[in-house]
Amino acid sequence: MSSVREGERVAYFNGEIIPESQVLIPFRDRGFKYGDAVFDMTRTFGHKIFKLETHISRFYNSLKYVDIDPGMTEAEMVSKTMEVLEENLHLLGPDDDFWVGQRVSRGVDLVGGDMWHTAGGPNVIIECAPLPLQPRARLYRDGIDVLVPSVRRVPPEVLSPRAKSHNYLNLIMADMEAKAQDPESWAILLDTRGFLTEGIGSNIFTIKDGVIYTPKEQYVLGGISRETAIEMAERIDVPVVTKDIDMFDAMTADEVFLTSTSLCICGVKSVQGREIGDGAPAGPITKALMDAYVDFVDYDWIGQYLKRLED
């Protein structure tokens, strides 16, 4: 392994584990030029990685959908991911955790070729990055304010949202619109039919009369945290229904929450400026799901966030 600057993370890049500063992507890389790349991301809990094999399986489904061969088996990707994580763990404080991700682009456009000629095959990266615990800590104290922008989610008949690709401009434009109104808000997009879908890296759930509802997987990226929240609902005997949900469902819900890799589960305080339920950061079913999630991973990630409010 190349020499590492003191305190610098390392990453896997095309067969080697090297300092992050040496991971350099050419400007003609198709992931940079066209968003022609896919990725996946999990996190650690108390420095232990979460559902890695499940994330890698989803990652390889994304790769298969866009027809990119990373030149590694799923087992090899799991093994190298663990190696990268272990090489970086010494940089974490006792109460810190990582995002851990894999990225593969189709490669670098060959100068003088047509757009399907690439030089050197795909670019493969495995990385770690510290979770944004302090910036997001207040969400567990205050709840999330959701805004629904005018930008609609790309429909599945155009491009499947089930592939986690680098082409995030649709979600970014929506988030920019929401944050122009409220810099602390999180955007959740409608689809072209007028139903709620998802935001950047987040899935939405509504709760009404003791039943949890969430959009169908054909219209959203089926998050692993979304899947885990559904598993937790089964543990606490709360039914979950996947169906089209709209603004009426959100506005009249008893509770709303979001799931994401970093947040796991976090309650929504308001949608479009209107308080959900009694305006509490999280309702009783959301709290029960969060507690079940904490027990499931055997790590108090809620306390991990809230501790940052004191820093």
Average pLDDT, the chain: 95
Give residue-wise pLDDT tens across range 57-73. Answer: 999 999 999 999 999 99
Tell if the pTM clears 0.85, that is, is over it.
yes
Give residue-wise pLDDT tens across range 191-223. Answer: 999 999 999 999 999 999 999 999 999 999 989
Give residue-wise pLDDT tens across range 89-137. Answer: 999 999 999 999 999 999 999 877 777 778 889 999 999 999 999 999 9
Query: What's the confidence (pLDDT) of residue 26?
Result: 94
Domain ranges of the chain: 10-131, 136-310
The CATH code for residues 136-310 is 3.20.10.10
pLDDT at 5 over 70: no
Q: How many CB atoms lie within 10 A of CB 46?
A: 15
CATH topology of domain 10-131: D-amino Acid Aminotransferase; Chain A, domain 1 (3.30.470)
3-class SS of residue 101: strand
Give residue-wise pLDDT tens across range 266-290. Answer: 999 999 999 998 888 999 999 999 9
pLDDT at 4 over 70: no
Q: Do domains 10-131 and 136-310 have the same CATH topology?
A: no
What is the 3-state composition of the chain as percent helix, strand, coil, each rounded to the nearest 5? 35, 25, 40
Torsion of CA 159, 163, 164, 168, to 10 degrees: 0
